[in-house]
């Protein structure tokens, strides 16, 4: 499997309180990769390192086959980036922002940009400082898409947008991906949004990658189990026990990862009884994953 983005042993520090250490991340080419994490977990910093906006203290980053930051300009010419905060020059009009942006991208598709302007109902003559948050979000997405990138890096692209605009923006991304087979790296803390569109997921917390796996594994692999007569020690369980809580009576609630239906035999072997297996949705799985990661054992 080829990777559009690869990070190895990445190390970065911002001040005394925040550090990314030993980060390894792989985004398969053509994937819709959801980058999940709570606020302040290091998602934006990781993206900025990935695009060469920040310089790492150590480690290796390769994006679209180019080494970052050495080959950042060549990589950026093939990458559409929508940052977390609006970053365009506020004193320009929409049309001027187009002209300025397109001057830097030889692959700029003017015809499609015009179509997107119509679809997004943007006023070409309006100053960027006068655009609403939704309009600015659409403009940022438009600029990223109209350069026909091989890789789209979207940092919380729908954060703060109303549902209609959010749908417009995500629809434009999905249409583009279906046409171009581009790779999309999308960071968000809106778990349900990523659940619908992504086929890979990476979870970050406190500057570390907690998990990276295909979305279906993430969604199906994390379960809540109700276990009667649970053993004190788990021993060689075929799954990963994320947490356990004592409930009413002798029944405990276990959160496990990597669950398969055939694993029920384990409980018979240790003298316990599995009463119930509950599917967790992505958000619950995400919360449990973070809770485990943050527990004192880790």
Partner 1 sequence: MFRMMLYTQWKWSRLLVVAGTLVAFAIPVLSVQSAGEYNLQHWEARALLNSIESWGLAYPILAAGLAVFMAMTAWGPDHRGRHVYALSLPVPRWHYALLRFGAGAVLLAVPVLAVWIGALVGTASAVIPPGLHAYPYALALRFALALLFAYAVFFAISAGTTRTAGYILAGIGAIIVVQVMARAAHVEFDLVGTIFGRMLGWPGPLEIFTGRWMLIDV
- What part of residues 41-60 is at the interface with partner 1 (CB under 8 A)? 51-53
Which range, of 24-32, 77-85, 181-189, 201-209, touches partner 1 by CB under 8 A? Answer: 77-85
- Asked if 45 and 58 count as a contact pair (C-beta separation under 8 A), the reply is no
**Which of 104, 269, 275, 295 touches partner 1 (CB under 8 A)?**
104
127 touching partner 1, by CB under 8 A: no
Q: Residue for token digits 């659409």?
A: 138
> From CA 49, how far away is CA 11, in angstroms rounded?
10
Strand, coil or helix: what is 39? coil
89 touching partner 1, by CB under 8 A: yes
For strands 66-68 and 79-82, give the pairing.
unpaired
92 touching partner 1, by CB under 8 A: yes
> From CA 201, how far away is CA 216, in angstroms rounded?
9
> From CA 3, how far away is CA 29, in angstroms rounded?
5
157 touching partner 1, by CB under 8 A: no
Which range, of 26-34, 76-84, 111-119, 220-228, touches partner 1 by CB under 8 A? Answer: 76-84
- What part of residues 168-187 is at the interface with partner 1 (CB under 8 A)? none
CB of 156 to partner 1, least distance (A): 13
73 touching partner 1, by CB under 8 A: yes
125 touching partner 1, by CB under 8 A: no
91 touching partner 1, by CB under 8 A: yes
Which range, of 67-75, 174-182, 191-199, 232-240, touches partner 1 by CB under 8 A? Answer: 67-75
Strand, coil or helix: what is 268? helix
**Torsion angle, alpha carbons of 139, 145, 151, 152, to 10:** 30
Residue spans of alpha helices (H) in 6-92: 43-50, 72-76
**Which of 23, 25, 76, 215 touches partner 1 (CB under 8 A)?**
76
């Amino acid at each position: 499997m080829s990777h559009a983005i690869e990070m190895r042993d990445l190390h970065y520090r911002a001040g005394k309180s925040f550090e990314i250490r030993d980060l390894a991340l792989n985004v398969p080419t053509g994937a819709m990769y959801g980058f999940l994490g709570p606020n302040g977990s290091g998602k934006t910093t990781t993206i900025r390192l990935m695009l060469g906006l920040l310089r790492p203290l150590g480690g290796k980053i390769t994006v679209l086959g180019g080494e970052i930051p050495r080959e950042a300009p060549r990589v950026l010419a093939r990458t559409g980036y929508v940052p977390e905060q609006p970053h365009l020059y506020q004193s320009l009009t929409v049309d001027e922002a187009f002209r300025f942006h397109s001057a830097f991208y030889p692959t700029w598709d003017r015809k499609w940009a015009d179509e997107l302007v119509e679809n997004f109902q943007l006023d070409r003559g309006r100053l960027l400082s006068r655009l609403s948050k939704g309009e600015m979000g659409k403009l940022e997405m438009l600029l990223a898409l109209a350069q026909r990138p091989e890789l789209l890096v979207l940092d919380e692209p729908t954060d703060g947008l109303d549902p209609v605009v959010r749908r417009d923006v995500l629809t434009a991304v999905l249409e583009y991906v279906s046409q171009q087979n581009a790779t999309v790296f999308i960071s968000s803390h809106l778990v349900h949004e990523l659940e619908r569109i992504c086929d890979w997921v990476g979870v970050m917390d406190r500057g570390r990658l907690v998990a990276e796996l295909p979305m279906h594994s993430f969604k199906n692999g994390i379960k809540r189990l109700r276990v009667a007569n649970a053993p004190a020690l788990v021993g060689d369980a075929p799954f990963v026990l994320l947490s356990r809580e004592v409930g009413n009576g002798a029944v405990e609630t276990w959160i496990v990862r990597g669950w398969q239906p055939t694993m029920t035999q384990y409980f018979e072997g240790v003298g316990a009884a599995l009463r119930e297996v509950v599917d967790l949705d992505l958000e619950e799985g995400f919360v449990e994953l973070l809770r485990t990661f943050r527990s004192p054992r880790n």
